Amino acid sequence: MNERWLVAVDLDGTLFDHSLQIAPPVQRAIRAVQRKGHALTLATGRMYRATRPFAEALKIDLPLICYQGALLRNEARTFAHWRLPLPIAHEVIALAEARDIAANLYIDDRLFVAEPREENEFYGMLSRNVTIESVGPLSNFMAAPPTKIVLIVDEKEVPALLDEATARWGGLAQVVRSHARFVELTHSEASKGNALRHLAADLEIPMARTMAIGDNLNDLSMVQAAQVGVAMGNADPALKAVADRVVPSLSDHGLAVALDALL
């Protein structure tokens, strides 16, 4: 269809809350968009294997934007993959080990940790289809460039850690806060916005017919990149400030409102 749109939907805080349940009005709105022939995909910081069950439930077979945009993939193939350079990854892990900060290391869609800790288990509770593999010191284990590293600290410690990580690696890597306790680092070109551009080009859909919907600062790049950038009512104020439209909050099915407006 000539007026086919590409819609990218964030997961946590946009598609569902901590229950991981997609509300019926949102499911109906997604099905309506798909029936009209529009392309709808998911855009998240989660691993591909943790994202795929939600895509299957929504009958999405398009490439999924995972790891904050570092991986663009579906079951058929990998469309793009930006890995964090190994020297930077070793510096990040060295900082984590020196300060006893829990770190998640992602290589080839597998999650590695040095040893089981409360922080890693907290992350595991937020995901599905994820096995956490303990491998001892990550500085010794890491031989290949990772897709992403997540540093997990108490919520009150995140702002200082985020500022420090940005000062040290901000020009060399993407540094984002994706959760109250998470500081994430990926390749400098890895962002949801960049992945959205790649996917639109692959699908031959102009950026003038793209919509992106999110709630957190890791959604900033795709909300700005899309022709129609939408912030949820529960979104971070900085995201609302750059969005073209603000819809009701997650509890009021704001995603359904945004999709209904597209139709």
Nearest to 22 by CA among 71, 62, 58, 73: 58
> For residue 123, what pLDDT is reported?
64
Residue 201, H or E segment:
helix 192-203
CATH number for the domain formed by residue range(s) 86-187? 3.30.1240.10
Nearest to 165 by CA among 146, 186, 179: 186
CATH 3.30.1240.10 residue window(s) in the chain: 86-187
Contact partners, residue 72, CB within 8 Å, separation at least 6: 63, 64, 65, 66, 78, 79, 80, 81, 195, 198, 199
pLDDT at 179 over 90: no
Q: What is the pTM of this model?
A: 0.92
pLDDT in tens, 77-91: 999 999 999 999 999
CATH 3.40.50.1000 residue window(s) in the chain: 6-81+190-262
Q: Is 32 helix (H, G, I), strand (E, B) or coil?
A: helix
Label residue 100 left, alpha or beta by phi (over 0 means left) and psi (-120 to 50 means alpha).
left
pLDDT in tens, 193-249: 999 999 999 999 999 999 999 999 889 999 999 999 999 999 999 999 999 999 999
Mean local confidence (pLDDT), 99-103: 96
C-alpha span between 12 and 46 (Å, rounded): 9
> For residue 178, what pLDDT is reported?
78
CATH number for the domain formed by residue range(s) 6-81+190-262? 3.40.50.1000
Mean local confidence (pLDDT), 165-178: 92
Q: Inter-axis angle of helices 254-262 and 24-35, to 10 degrees?
A: 20
pLDDT at 1 over 60: no
